[in-house]
Structure 1
C-alpha cells in the first residue's frame, strides 16, 4: 500500500478518516491497511478481508452510540453482531492463534489512534493500550502506567520545547507535584496529566493548577468521525409501507435504513436539489424516476415511487 498523501491531485486537503488499519481480526492475522478517499471500493473474493477491515470500525461505532456503557466493545449491536470475542479472532486448524486485535484510524493524513483490545481472564474485554500519533510524537497510554512511564509520555509530548527536557530529567517541582489518572471511556483509554505552575497576582507568585496533557482532546476528534459514519448494510429488510419519523442531522445512529424516509422528507420540504439527483440515480438503476415522502402522522412517513417509464 502506498504512503498516504495530505493532498489529492487537485490540491484539496483530504478530510475525515483517511486510513484504516486492522490486525488480528478474523482473516487479517497480520496488519492490513487501506486508504480512504472520496470514493473507495473494496472488492475481492469471499474471506479476502473486506468485512474484516471494516467491522472493527462498526464495533466502535455501536459502542460509542450505545445508550449505556457497554464496556470497551459492544459485540452485539445494530451494526455488527457477535456473541463471543473469540468469534472474530484469527484461527488456524480450529485453534485461535491470538487473543489480541488492534484497530487504527488516521484522520486527515495527520493524526492517528491505534487501540489494542484483549479479553482478560476475568472474561471482560479490556483496552490493552492506546497509541496516539500527533505532531510526529508517539504517545502510548496503558493501564497501570507508573511515574517513569508518564514522564516518558510527557517528554514525547513536549520533545521540541523546554518542558520536554524537564520531563526527560525527571526533576523539579512540576515533576514532584505531577498527578495523573487513566480512565476508560467506552472504546478509548484516556490519560489526564496535571501539575502546578505559577502566575503573578498583585506582584506575588501564586500557585495555579496546570493541565499538561489530556488525551480527551484527541479522542473526541476520533469519536466525532466514528459517530458520523453512515452504515448501509449489504443485507436489508423487506420494504415497509411506512417508516419511522427520525431527526436529520450530521450523525445517524445505528443503520441508515431507519433514516431514509425522513431524509427524503427533509429534502422535499427544503426543495433540495439532491432529491432530483436521487430520482436520476434511481432511474439510471431502472428502479423508478421519482420518489416522494408523505407524512402519515407524527411517527410515520410513507414513501411513494413513480412507475417506469415516466408516468
Structure 2
C-alpha cells in the first residue's frame, strides 16, 4: 500500500507537500485542477517498470497496446513555473503486508533532460530501515553511488546508471558487497508495489451482445475495462479456490445499488461465445439491453474483486452514468472491499453523493478517519493547490472549500426568494 505521495514541479504541481494515502483515498475538485496529475505520477512509474528496456529512465509512452498513457515530452511533464534547474520529482512511501524482507520503504527520484531531449534520472534515493542508497548523476552520463551518510561514493561511472528509475544495476549491486542484497530487495519491493497498481480510467468500453473467450484468465481488466468480461468469465468457468468470487461480488453490489438482482454468465450453445445476463424484477436481459450505467460500473466492481489482495486500485470517475443512490453505494464498496481484501482504493471523483455517503459511513463508525483520506484540489493561477478535507468523528466537515460541489444552499435560498416574490405579486 502506498502511504505517502509527493510531487515537485510535476505538471500542475509546484509542490504537493506530503500527501497521506490511506486504504481509501478520494480526490475531489474542479475539472483540470490537477487531480489526474496525482494519479498519473504513479502510472508513469508503473509503465516505466514494465518497460522491456531496462536502461530506460522514464517511459513516457507511445505504445498504444502496452502503455497506460502517452505523456508526450519532458516539457509536457514539467510545471510551467519550474525554476531554472528544470527538474521534477516524484516521491512515495509504501508498506507491504506480505511476509517479505522489505516491510516498508521510501522512493524519491528527480528527473532532468539531456541536451538531446531525453529524460534522465538526476538523483535516485531508495530507503528502508534507516538504510539509504543514492545514485547521483555526474557529467557525461556517469553516476556516483552513495550509501547512508557516507561522504565518498562507493563507485562511479556510466555503468552505475539506475534502471527503470527504481533499481540499481546488477553490476552496482554486486559491487556493493554485503549491502547489495538489501539494495536488490528494496528495488524489487518498489517494483512489486508499482506493478500491483490496477488502473481503470473514466472511458470504458460499451457492452457487446456476446463475447468470445479463450478459457484464459487476464492479467488485469485494462484501463478501459476491456478485459473485465474475460475476468468475469474466468471467475465463473475456471475451476479453482476463487471460482465465482468475482461474479458473486459483482452481483452483490449490483443488488445493493438497486440496478440488478444478479449477474449470470450464459454460453451460446457449444461455441466459445458467452453472454452476460442481468436479472431484475423477474426479467432476464442481455447486458446490451439494460441501461448504460450497469455496463459502465461493471469494470469497477470486477476490478474490486479481481485485483490481487494487497493491490492498489486507481479509479477515475467510477460513478459515471450511475444514478445518485448507486453513486452513494460506491463509498460502501470501497470501505468494505478495502477491509475484506486488503486492497487500497485511490479514487478521483466528481460525485457529491459518493462523498456524502463517506461522511455518513464515518458517522456510523463503519470506517475511521484513520483509514480514509479526502482531498480537494483547486487551481491557483498556473499551479494546483491541495486542501485536506478533515472530517471529524461524526463525518462533519467544518471548513468547506468555496464552490465545493456548487452552492446547494444558495440555490435553495434563491428558489425561496423567487417563490415569495411570485406569491406577493399574485396576492390580491
TM-score (norm 2): 0.52
User: Which of the residues 108, 115, 125 maps onto 2:119?
Assistant: 125
**1:51 match:** 36
User: Which of the residues 6, 16, 34 maps onto 2:19?
Assistant: 34
Where in structure 1 are there 5+ consecutive unaligned residues?
Answer: 1-15, 157-166, 197-209
**In structure 2, C-alpha distance between the alignment counterparts of 1:233 and 1:84, rounded to whole Å:** 22
Asked if 1:236 corresponds to 2:201, the answer is no
Summarize the alignment of residues 79-90 of structure 1 with structure 2, pairs less than 5 Å apart: 79-90=68-79
Q: 1:113 to 1:96 in 2, by over 3 A?
A: closer
**1:282 match:** 254
**In structure 1, C-alpha distance between the alignment counterparts of 2:268 and 2:77, rounded to whole Å:** 43
Conservation of the 8 A alpha-carbon contact between 1:89 and 1:98: no
Q: 1:264 to 1:154 in 2, by over 3 A?
A: same
Q: 1:248 to 1:137 in 2, by over 3 A?
A: same
**In structure 2, C-alpha distance between the alignment counterparts of 1:99 and 1:155, rounded to whole Å:** 27
> 1:64-118 deviations in whole A, cap 9, x for unaligned?
22345582222235322222221222125xx987622111121118310111121
**2:92 match:** 105
Conservation of the 8 A alpha-carbon contact between 1:127 and 1:189: no
**In structure 2, C-alpha distance between the alignment counterparts of 1:186 and 1:195, rounded to whole Å:** 19
Deviation at 1:127, TM superposition (A): 1.0
Q: 1:261 to 1:155 in 2, by over 3 A?
A: closer
2:194 counterpart SS class? helix
Conservation of the 8 A alpha-carbon contact between 2:173 and 2:184: no
2:236 counterpart SS class? helix
User: Which of the residues 154, 159, 165 maps onto 1:187?
Assistant: 165
Q: 1:154 to 1:114 in 2, by over 3 A?
A: closer
> 1:208-244 deviations in whole A, cap 9, x for unaligned?
xx44435332111111111111101112232234266
Runs of 4+ in 1 over 4 A off after TM superposition: 67-70, 95-98, 167-170, 178-181, 193-196, 243-247, 294-297
User: Which of the residues 111, 114, 119 maps onto 2:108?
Assistant: 114
> 1:29-65 deviations in whole A, cap 9, x for unaligned?
1143322222221112223331111101111112222
Quote the RMSD (CA, aligned, Å): 3.8
**In structure 2, C-alpha distance between the alignment counterparts of 1:266 and 1:43, rounded to whole Å:** 34
Asked if 1:64 corresponds to 2:49, the answer is yes
> 1:121-169 deviations in whole A, cap 9, x for unaligned?
1111111111122212333212349xxx64xx3354xxxxxxxxxx779
**In structure 2, C-alpha distance between the alignment counterparts of 1:130 and 1:244, rounded to whole Å:** 43
Conservation of the 8 A alpha-carbon contact between 1:244 and 1:258: no
Deviation at 1:185, TM superposition (A): 1.8
**In structure 2, C-alpha distance between the alignment counterparts of 1:55 and 1:300, rounded to whole Å:** 37
**In structure 1, C-alpha distance between the alignment counterparts of 2:10 and 2:272, rounded to whole Å:** 40
Number of residue pairs the alignment of both structures matches: 262
Asked if 1:142 corresponds to 2:136, the answer is yes
**In structure 1, C-alpha distance between the alignment counterparts of 2:78 and 2:168, rounded to whole Å:** 25
Greater RCO (Cα-Cα under 8 Å, separation 6 or more)? 2
Asked if 1:213 corresponds to 2:180, the answer is yes
**In structure 2, C-alpha distance between the alignment counterparts of 1:118 and 1:84, rounded to whole Å:** 12
Q: 1:304 to 1:98 in 2, by over 3 A?
A: farther
Structure 1 or 2: larger helix share?
Answer: 2
Asked if 1:17 corresponds to 2:10, the answer is no
**1:305 match:** 277
